[in-house]
Structure 1
């Protein structure tokens, strides 16, 4: 909570600003809202140089270009425009009904979700920061499935309630990072669906992770989803909602349950399941690179890989309490 009256004023201004933008996004015609979003995305790209720098690096790797060039920057700028379009869609969520989502979204693969939930062991549904992940999750919730996820808290609590309340309204149960592991485990044991974003760059070296091959380069991914799968026997799936030309339609697709074989070596199995998830993300991003919003550092340098491996060798049994609290669960 804010310590001074000035902080409190700032917080309340944030709440009122969110409400105002929410209503403007909802009431504005699509041509105006998305036109504004495209302009705002361009401004965001050129103004937030640290974010656009990492986006350019990401697109260089995804596109397989030897350096950041005109093509890389063009796709990267489209990423920023699509991201702001996603944000205007999210601001509207509090005012939408279930029918609104069915009007603007096509879907495929529902039979795979039915197949995955049938054993009653829960489903781990993984999606990246791609397209509109809120729509992907909410569509599943509107079909009557119970969904659980994790998201960072926002200050002040009133703003947090507006943001997370919008998601709960669409059928999601949201846990804060501190409550995540227990909440997600319980949901899976009840046979429900857990939705997690796997491609969030980890902010702390204490967060439990593995290094996987992603687009031919080393990247650190959280281990939480894979460990929850091993503990609960949950089915694992991949899903997304991609924006279609014209902006008014998304196409949501759920993959068949992903198959994997257990070796009995838990750490090896965690690595292989995480690599399996990363492979699905890689295939999707190659198809729609301009809808992947990777504006932070994800890949590791050779020096960072060496330091990670050294730390792993020096402290194989140490698991600090702070690491357990954020034991490989990425947040939005």
Structure 2
């Protein structure tokens, strides 16, 4: 492991071991100070966030975009502070913190026995939503995590999410797809963050009026297994509450090739995501390039 990897792993390890021991007001204040420091530096990630938010709120002037990006960085650091502390939360705390609109749609889908695919964007705290599923609904689920460097950091994330009741599969060469399909065929639940995919297999969608790519996996799994595909969006509501919405199921079209069906279904997922992001842009943690015309010719996808 090189020095940079050791430092990265050490910083995250410090967060998990130290932040969860702080009094909650101190942890909240620390997260806000870090967010404001990063925002004032006007670094690459903050500028990219503002560029992305300009797509979501096209009428916003420079001052409004700066306000949104500051709120966005605070929301992003809130995600991290909550995540560092989440393993210490009890089930009652999770239930009191999360309220999901139209949860009956998810319950009915689970009761159908067909298997359920929940697709989410990078809104608010998707890990907290997962903890709500395992504690409030009492339903285990499977998810996929991108392999991070160093490997020890990936192991930390896997251990953290497993402590919340999730089965975590590594996203490596598509090997997870078969396991996900098996979980769905047995009536299980899988949850996938699905608002950014710049690989060759991504499906091109219209997103806030411009072309972007999103993962084909949710649509393909629904076609192959007959599982119910549900988009979900989340947002923070004040300092002590996260809310969410279960959107109506995305149906498999009756006609067309598999790629054509995937295109229609992924567009429907993107439209659901856009509705949630448009209502709560400050809670969308997209600090990377997303739209195709933002990609540099050399293939820089940072």
Report the Cα offset of residue 79 of structure 1.
Answer: 0.6
Matched, 1:146 2:140: yes
Report the Cα offset of residue 15 of structure 1.
Answer: 4.9
Q: Distance in 2 between matches of 1:157 and 1:220?
A: 27
Q: Distance in 2 between matches of 1:23 and 1:95?
A: 11
Q: Aligned residue pairs: how many?
A: 295
Partner residue, 1:267: 259
Partner residue, 1:319: none
Matched, 1:164 2:158: yes
Matched, 1:49 2:18: no
Q: Distance in 2 between matches of 1:157 and 1:299?
A: 29
Structure number with greater Rg is: 1
Q: Distance in 2 between matches of 1:56 and 1:303?
A: 16
Q: Could you say if the C-alpha distance between residues 77 and 201 of structure 1 is closer, same or farther in structure 2, counting changes exceeding 3 Å?
A: farther
* Root-mean-square deviation over aligned CA pairs: 2.6
Partner residue, 2:286: 294
Q: Distance in 1 between matches of 2:8 and 2:296?
A: 37
Question: With structure 2 as the length reference, what TM-score do the two structures score?
Answer: 0.88
For 1:40-119, list aligned pairs within 5 A.
40-47=34-41, 49-65=43-59, 69-119=62-112
- Corresponding residue SS for 1:199: coil
Q: 1:131 aligns with which of 124, 127, 150?
A: 124
Q: Distance in 2 between matches of 1:302 and 1:144?
A: 41
Q: Distance in 2 between matches of 1:146 and 1:234?
A: 16
> Is the 8 Å Cα contact of residues 208 and 222 (structure 1) preserved in structure 2?
yes
Partner residue, 1:320: none
> Is the 8 Å Cα contact of residues 135 and 241 (structure 1) preserved in structure 2?
no
Q: Distance in 1 between matches of 2:10 and 2:288?
A: 28
Q: Deviations over 1:14-63 (max 9, x none)?
A: 55543432243223233322222122112223436221222111111111
For 1:178-257, list aligned pairs within 5 A.
178=172, 179-202=175-198, 206-245=199-238, 247-257=239-249
Q: Could you say if the C-alpha distance between residues 269 and 91 of structure 1 is closer, same or farther in structure 2, counting changes exceeding 3 Å?
A: same
Report the Cα offset of residue 13 of structure 1.
Answer: 5.7
Which ranges in structure 1 are unaligned for 5 or more consecutive residues?
1-6, 308-332
- Corresponding residue SS for 2:138: coil
Which ranges in structure 2 are unaligned for 5 or more consecutive residues?
none
